[in-house]
Chains A and B, each alone.
Chain A
């Protein structure tokens, strides 16, 4: 069966520090991978998605970047965190064509930038 691992579960970082969140998927090949951010009272905001190694699409311009060094690994990074980067970050995977996705989410990372 497929599983998705996301870590760390919680993170407290000072403003201006770097960030690296990692997500790995097991039990499937060539998944579509996603990074979402969830703010209180708002829907999930798609940050990045990837259909293959090295292929990253950015949905919104921001202080963050993503990389996919391996088929089942997706990394969210920042060189210098801002206060506004605080939030609940979710990694997800799916298979199938865009528009027919069924998303399977990780357990999330609660990031607090102080």
Chain B
């Protein structure tokens, strides 16, 4: 069973700072997704990456899929309080199509 490790587990920064969070595994993914979840709500899909080395941008968020499709990163530029939430990565196992979620990075952006 693949394990997705997300780091850091918690991150608290000031508004305007940049940050990067990571999602790592020893297994190869056929695709990887990032979700954001606010307290008391379900996760909302932000992006899906499929190709090794792929970079996708969503406004101030930049998502990168590792060349070997085993890891991914999410970079936020000039963070805002509205970026506060739990960021979850989910990988689809290349061998059996199972989707597994990481435990998430809980981001707090202080005004």
How many A-B pairs with Cβ below 8 Å? 51
Q: Is B99 an interface residue (CB 8 A)?
A: yes
Interface size range of chain B in the complex? 20 to 34
Least Cβ distance of A59 to chain B in Å? 9
How many chain A residues touch B (CB < 8 A): the figure is 21
Q: Is the interface of A mostly helix, strand, loop or mixed?
A: loop
Contact in complex: A41, B42 (CB < 8 Å): no
Q: Is A7 an interface residue (CB 8 A)?
A: no
Of all chain A residues, the one with the shortest Cβ separation from B6 is: A43
Contact in complex: B88, A43 (CB < 8 Å): yes
Q: Is B92 an interface residue (CB 8 A)?
A: yes
Which residues of B pack against A, CB within 8 Å? 4, 9, 30-31, 33, 35, 40-45, 48, 88, 90, 92, 97, 99-104
